[in-house]
Amino acid sequence: MRIISGNTTSLTGTEHLERNVFKKCDKSPKWDSKPRRLLEIEVLLNGFERTYDIFVLPRLRVKMNLQQDIHHGEEEVELFNKNILERLTLPPIEGLLIRPLRSTDYDKGFLQLLAQLTEVGKINKEHFLKIFQRMKNAGIYYIVVIEDLSCAKVIASATLIAEQKFIHNCALRGRLEDVVVNNNYRGKHLGKLLVNIILQLARYLHCYKISLDCRDTLIPFYESLGFKREPNNANSLNIRFSNENTTEQSHL
Ligand SMILES: CC(C)(COP(=O)(O)OP(=O)(O)OC[C@H]1O[C@@H](n2cnc3c(N)ncnc32)[C@H](O)[C@@H]1OP(=O)(O)O)[C@@H](O)C(=O)NCCC(=O)NCCS
């Protein structure tokens, strides 16, 4: 078992913790001086990520809640750490929640929303969770969604892929993908808001640039958000492979 990420700072006097909770870890967490009540730590165990909630009680007695693997369990897991979004400038919008994609969004209409963008295909919940887990493990996928809390549905989504490079001193290149707003919510500046959040996120992650492919009709939309067609560098070339499993209807 090894710790791969998580808020592992903020405890003192942790001998008991380290001995009893982390005895199987390759690496012990590093602690600093301020105690906190709850730590969420993600670990990689037998190839699967798991989230451990550690409740810090008086006298530093520790109770650990081992959540089930998302392949089998019903617990809610976020695709990336939501604290990152809290560090950005997000306007509060009444009744709407801006957050990372969650493992439970299969039941909140996430795939139906994507179907307004392009062909999605038939994906059952198990398959969705498998792909979700794969994306989470990769650590480069940032799917930001907006949920309408009044109906508990995901009504908008956009994806940042932070592609790791060797070039430019091992820089990250951002790619904006799969921007979609539910057609009942369009024209309310939610698309613009989501793209702006992705831009902030890309800057926060120190991407050296962010690129996208889009239909010609959407060029004004993206230009209004600061994207530019660079002279001599504004081409998108594709080869489409025919694949029975990939029904390309809208040619996105
Ligand atoms: C494109 C899309 C995400 C825009 O979302 P939206 O919430 O309706 O857009 P917004 O309300 O934020 O629009 C912001 C601005 O862009 C303009 N705009 C919106 N859609 C546009 C379009 N298709 N072409 C040109 N301008 C557009 C709006 O008029 C608005 O201008 P304003 O700031 O002057 O008022 C949404 O129409 C959608 O989901 N479309 C289907 C999926 C899709 O094609 N996604 C893009 C894949 S690359």
pLDDT at 210 over 90: yes
Residue bearing the bigger pLDDT, 251 or 179: 179
If you measure from the C-alpha of residue 191 to the centroid of ligand 1, how many angstroms do you get, rounded to a whole number? 6
Q: Is the pLDDT of residue 62 over 90?
A: no
Atom of ligand 1 nearest to the CA of 178: 47
Q: Which residue has the CA at smallest separation from atom 4 of ligand 1?
A: 191
pLDDT on residue 11:
36
Rounded mean pLDDT, 194-211 = 98
Residue 61 has a pLDDT of: 33
CA distance 23 to 222: 51
CB distance 180 to ligand 1 below 6 Å: yes
80/61: higher pLDDT: 80
Q: Can you tell me which atom of ligand 1 is nearest the CA of 187?
A: 11
What is the rounded CA–CA span in Å between residue 69 and residue 46?
11
Q: Residue 38 C-alpha to ligand 1 middle, in angstroms?
A: 40
Task: Specify the higher pLDDT residue, 63 or 50.
Answer: 50
pLDDT bin (cut points 50, 70, 90) of residue 252 is: low
Cα of 187 vs centre of ligand 1, distance in Å, is 7
Q: How far apart are CA 82 and CA 22, in angstroms?
A: 24
pLDDT for 183 equals: 98
Check if 217 has its Cβ closer than 6 Å to any atom of ligand 1.
yes
Mean pLDDT of 28-33: 46
Q: Is 187 in the pocket of ligand 1 (CB under 6 A)?
A: yes
pLDDT of residue 242: 81
Q: How many whole angstroms separate alpha carbon 189 and alpha carbon 156?
A: 11
Q: How many CB atoms lie within 10 A of CB 17?
A: 20
| Model pLDDT, residue 75 | 80
pLDDT in tens, 217-238: 999 999 999 999 999 999 999 9
Ligand 1 binding pocket includes 47 (Cβ within 6 Å): no
What secondary structure letter does DSSP report for 26?
S
Mean pLDDT of 177-204: 98
Q: Is 181 in the pocket of ligand 1 (CB under 6 A)?
A: yes
Q: How high does pLDDT run on average in the chain?
A: 79
Q: Supply the residue whose CA is at minimum distance from atom 17 of ligand 1.
A: 221
- The residue to mutate among 146, 198, 221, having the most atoms of ligand 1 within 8 angstroms of its beta carbon, is 221
With CA atoms as reference, report the closest residue to 1 among 45, 53, 47. 45
The pLDDT, as a whole number, for residue 43 is: 45
Higher pLDDT, 41 or 121: 121
| Residues constituting the chain | 252
C-alpha closest to that of 142 among 129, 157, 155: 157
The pLDDT of 42-49, averaged and rounded, is 44
- What secondary structure letter does DSSP report for 109? T
